[in-house]
Structure 1
């Protein structure tokens, strides 16, 4: 049974979080629909309970989700009318004896959060007088998210655990390089490939193995290629540490295919720009041209390529020339002057 859910997205990047959630829901429930994205931070989607639950675990940039009750301006009376419009048994599910009200202000909201939490709590008790407030361990949580102009109200279901990625941060892995991609960004790229769990993913520029680690943890068979032996050995340390028994890494050149045709559901990769580049005598453009000409045959029909490149590198014409079409692209400032562009093509 489908319901409307709200999802709070990370504010780290502008378009990537919503795009990632859309792809994750499509993987989990192909008939899911994102009805609206509010200010790039709140997504309203129609999907199944199971897909919504798994999406929070799977997506890198989705913080929490809940059952959507409605939206209003930031006038407390308008918000309270949303509460009153919900069936009391939907507001707080049957079997619950305690509840709490929690809210979050984002994007410059100036709403009186504590005052609104109190007023919503009072209104819930009017509708369900048998309930008691429990701020420490409630059976149900009414949750609101307020932006500068409006408020979304619902019942919280679950949140991504704090420090979800901390143990896998690039600098905390057994082996790292200054240019290593962080696990959340790697995971988002994998999700954009829209491969169902159990599929096969190739990272032909594997580096320290960050994309491979996240792909394996998401339930994929992940294969990597790395040109430099010493980097490949370091990547194997990382894979053994996080995904022991799934170390599928080859020392080789991404421009020389070593797999059968149609072997992979997706290629997800971060080519060697900006680091002590593995192809010092070629620009990234020429490298990608050579790589695409050789490796597209490894991709199954309809499979996607998700690639991260410097924002100033224009590869659109190159992708089209190799018979691919660009599905979407996203800009992400990594640090300082480094802005990545994530391109999704099929």
Structure 2
């Protein structure tokens, strides 16, 4: 069956990778069919009830998506084509006779010449004429028109609570330090790492613990390390604020005090300034030696997701990693971060 993921658009490539990683974590048999502007279409094979239960679970992890739709139809982003598609659509698998409905349209960026409210009324009318009752305030089923390069028409299977991430913004935590990853980005990278609940994930440059908070929220066993004891104290304060289990230590990322192949994933955002040089002789040495340590403690086949403003491809390859994905994240005029997804 065909499902559509309504991507957030806050990054050109990370939202898609996050979705695909989460589908794999649920062991779904899927194939990507199309990726439009802020819309990923995926064909998922299997029992629809089982699939949709898994998609609800996926929605609880996702950060860079809005909704998951069960696709009814796809057509050109033309008013007449959209209304015709809705009128001819068989929607009995999406709504039963005793259920109410509402229709919402979302126009994406350059595809905004169409009038969303007009389409909502027209498409809603076609559903009404099929014998169903509308309820605009509390519908049993929400139909959605996603107007991208094409128009995707579907019913909402699950929605992502993005407001929860806003509540965990860095400045709203007890201990704040500027320049850290925003919670949605941190969660997306954790999802891309493939970590499962109960498995070990390490951030060897944990700072105030933003990555650890998001990993602990999905019940992973989080381990954090930082060179500065006062920062570790701040990270502990933040994790305790959300009543999350954690293991924290002050230490040197070029000599991580953990056994070989004991970590199931690593996600980290190494520091870029002088504070990083408490133990390392230079930033170059810090990256080179810490990469070797991360490779050593990671289990074979597992992933490390590294954020850096430096080019660290060579360090990664020399440490033994295979580069699986590379994402660029524009921060401001003088800073573009590179995010590498590395496999041992």
Fold equivalence (TM over 0.5): yes
Residue matched to 1:198: 198
Give the 3-state SS of the residue equivalent to 1:164 in structure 2: helix
Residue 274 of structure 1 deviates from its aligned partner by: 4.1
Q: Given that residues 252 and 279 in structure 2 are in contact (C-alpha distance below 8 angstroms), is that contact kept between their aligned partners in structure 1?
A: no
Residue 316 of structure 1 deviates from its aligned partner by: 1.4
> Are residue 90 (structure 1) and residue 112 (structure 2) matched?
no
Residue matched to 1:297: 296
> Are residue 67 (structure 1) and residue 67 (structure 2) matched?
no
In structure 2, distance between residues paired with 1:91 and 1:281:
59
Residue 168 of structure 1 deviates from its aligned partner by: 1.0
Greater displacement, 228-237 / 62-71: 62-71
Residue 50 of structure 1 deviates from its aligned partner by: 2.1
Matching of residues 263-302 of structure 1 within 5 Å: 263-274=262-273, 276-279=275-278, 282-302=281-301
Residue 30 of structure 1 deviates from its aligned partner by: 4.3
Residue matched to 1:138: 139
Residue matched to 2:214: 214
> Are residue 329 (structure 1) and residue 326 (structure 2) matched?
yes
Query: Would the alpha carbon gap of residues 194 and 111 (structure 1) be closer, same or farther in structure 2, given more than 3 Å must change?
Result: same
In structure 2, distance between residues paired with 1:14 and 1:309:
18
Per-residue deviation, residues 83-142 of structure 1 (Å, max 9, x unmatched): 24432412423541x211111111222112111111111111222x2x221111111121
Give the 3-state SS of the residue equivalent to 1:177 in structure 2: coil
Residue matched to 1:107: 109
> Are residue 225 (structure 1) and residue 231 (structure 2) matched?
no
Point out where structure 2 has 5 or more consecutive residues left out of the alignment: 45-50
Residue matched to 2:30: 32
Residue 254 of structure 1 deviates from its aligned partner by: 1.3
In structure 1, distance between residues paired with 2:15 and 2:236:
30
Residue 63 of structure 1 deviates from its aligned partner by: 1.0
Query: Would the alpha carbon gap of residues 124 and 295 (structure 1) be closer, same or farther in structure 2, given more than 3 Å must change?
Result: closer
Q: RMSD of the alignment, in Å?
A: 1.8
Greater displacement, 329-338 / 247-256: 329-338
Residue matched to 1:80: 83
In structure 1, distance between residues paired with 2:335 and 2:273:
9
Query: Would the alpha carbon gap of residues 91 and 296 (structure 1) be closer, same or farther in structure 2, given more than 3 Å must change?
Result: closer
Residue 237 of structure 1 deviates from its aligned partner by: 0.3
Residue 338 of structure 1 deviates from its aligned partner by: 2.1
> What's the TM-score once normalised by structure 2's chain length?
0.92
**Count of residue pairs brought into register by the alignment:** 336
In structure 2, distance between residues paired with 1:280 and 1:255:
8
Give the 3-state SS of the residue equivalent to 2:56 in structure 1: helix
Residue matched to 2:168: 168
Query: Would the alpha carbon gap of residues 162 and 304 (structure 1) be closer, same or farther in structure 2, given more than 3 Å must change?
Result: closer
Residue 37 of structure 1 deviates from its aligned partner by: 1.0
Residue 285 of structure 1 deviates from its aligned partner by: 2.9
Residue 36 of structure 1 deviates from its aligned partner by: 1.6
> What's the TM-score once normalised by structure 1's chain length?
0.92
In structure 1, distance between residues paired with 2:21 and 2:208:
26
Per-residue deviation, residues 139-196 of structure 1 (Å, max 9, x unmatched): 112110112x421111123322352212211111100111222111111111111122
Residue matched to 1:6: 4
Give the 3-state SS of the residue equivalent to 2:10 in structure 1: coil
Q: Given that residues 183 and 210 in structure 1 are in contact (C-alpha distance below 8 angstroms), is that contact kept between their aligned partners in structure 2?
A: yes
Query: Would the alpha carbon gap of residues 206 and 138 (structure 1) be closer, same or farther in structure 2, given more than 3 Å must change?
Result: same
Matching of residues 108-127 of structure 1 within 5 Å: 108=110, 109-127=112-130
Query: Would the alpha carbon gap of residues 212 and 195 (structure 1) be closer, same or farther in structure 2, given more than 3 Å must change?
Result: same
Q: Given that residues 213 and 243 in structure 1 are in contact (C-alpha distance below 8 angstroms), is that contact kept between their aligned partners in structure 2?
A: no
In structure 2, distance between residues paired with 1:237 and 1:335:
29
Give the 3-state SS of the residue equivalent to 1:32 in structure 2: strand
Q: Given that residues 285 and 315 in structure 1 are in contact (C-alpha distance below 8 angstroms), is that contact kept between their aligned partners in structure 2?
A: no
Residue 284 of structure 1 deviates from its aligned partner by: 3.2
In structure 1, distance between residues paired with 2:136 and 2:302:
48
Query: Would the alpha carbon gap of residues 274 and 257 (structure 1) be closer, same or farther in structure 2, given more than 3 Å must change?
Result: closer
